[in-house]
Amino acid sequence: MKITVAGVGYVGLSLAVLLAQNHEVTAITTTPAKAEKLNKFISPI
């Protein structure tokens, strides 16, 4: 199943990580700095 999570704050990021264990997850954020960190596998929080 493909899932999209809007927002990568405390709730969105933890939800995305949990769902990614069994599904394909895409996380969306409006903050370029957070997106850059996530692409490098660094937590933005």
Q: pLDDT tens digits, residue range 1-41?
A: 999 999 999 999 999 999 999 999 999 999 999 999 999 99
Domain ranges of the chain: 1-27
Burial 6-45 (b: 16+ CB within 10 A, else e): ebbeeebbebbeeeeeeeebebebeeeebeebbeeeeeee
pLDDT, residue 45, reads: 86
pTM for the model stands at 0.81
Number of CB atoms found within 10 A of residue 3's CB: 14
